[in-house]
Structure 1
Amino acid sequence: MKNQAFRDRAATFAAGLMVQAVWPLLVIAACVLATPVIGLTAGPRATPLSAGAWFVAAASALAILAFSTLILFDALLFRLMASHDSEAAGAGAVDDVLARMRLKPIPAATRSLDERIAGARRLLMKQRTAFCLFAAASLVAAFI
């Protein structure tokens, strides 16, 4: 991959990850702000099912927060990759940062940009699954 194409692709993917890290948090914050209003209207009809649904919604909201943090960290690593002249130099810098933070040992061979993007997409899928669980549990808790 040419150097400028690599840099553009890494920077574009990093920007997309930033958006994907933030929007679920904004939706959760809106739901939390709306919770007292919903709780006042559904107070006397609270059931064990709705209490369990609120618990599942809260747990999945925490999972979304954790996944969003990891996605934001990945976005910063992709921005670091994009700041280097070549894919090999950028991947080496990311591996060096992860090794210095003691998150991963230095690998024998550096992973390509495509492999790193695939890993970030798997993380996005986990976040979206947790978000769907949050939305379903919130709807159940609000309307039961």
Structure 2
Amino acid sequence: MLVKQAAWPAAIVIAGDSVAPLVASARGALHAPIAVLALLVAAASAIAVLGLSALLLFDALLFRLMTSHDDEASGGAAVDDLLARMRLKPAPSSLRPLDDRIAGTRRLLARQRIALAVFVAAFLTAGFWMPR
């Protein structure tokens, strides 16, 4: 389910002709500064959505690693060990509870949805202010 939550916002951004077409169409909107600003915000938020989607996919893989172990403690230890070996996080002194890990993933989901909302709003604003 987490993979699906990571994929659909990324698909919207990609389907919305996000980064390259927006920047290319900004050339025709030089006399509409609001459109240029909206295009830049849309491009930045598109990159944020894609980055957060990648982080959510990584979280999904980490949760899959956790479930491959017999209990929560050994699964959490395996994830912490992997993150420490990848030098993404220092080795924790104590095991983080599963609720803390889920809360972190929910924060990522919230940030992704905010970035997606910013992208959609900026994309629509740019389309409204573009010269016809």
Pick closer, same or farther for the CA change 1:46–1:102 going to 2, 3 Å: same
Structure 2 SS opposite 1:134: helix
Normalized against structure 1, the TM-score is what? 0.80
Report the identity percentage: 56
Alignment of 1:93-112 (within 5 A): 93-112=78-97
Unaligned 5+ runs, structure 1: 1-15
The answer for the alignment partner of 2:46 in structure 1 is 61
Runs of 4 or more off by more than 4 Å in structure 1? 43-46
TM-superposed deviation, 1:45: 9.2
| Equivalent position SS for 1:120 | helix
CA offset at residue 85 of structure 1?
Answer: 0.5
Aligned partners of 2:29 and 2:117: how far apart in 1? Answer: 27
Q: Which residue of 2 aligns with 1:131?
A: 116
Counterpart of 2:66 (choices 56, 59, 81) is 81
Alignment map for 1:12-23 (pairs within 5 Å): 16-23=1-8
Q: Deviations over 1:82-129 (max 9, x none)?
A: 111000000000000000001111111111111100010011111111
* Structure 2 unmatched runs, 5+: none
**Pairing partner for 1:24 from 6, 9, 15:** 9
| Aligned residue-pair number | 124
- If the length of structure 2 is used for normalisation, what is the TM-score? 0.87
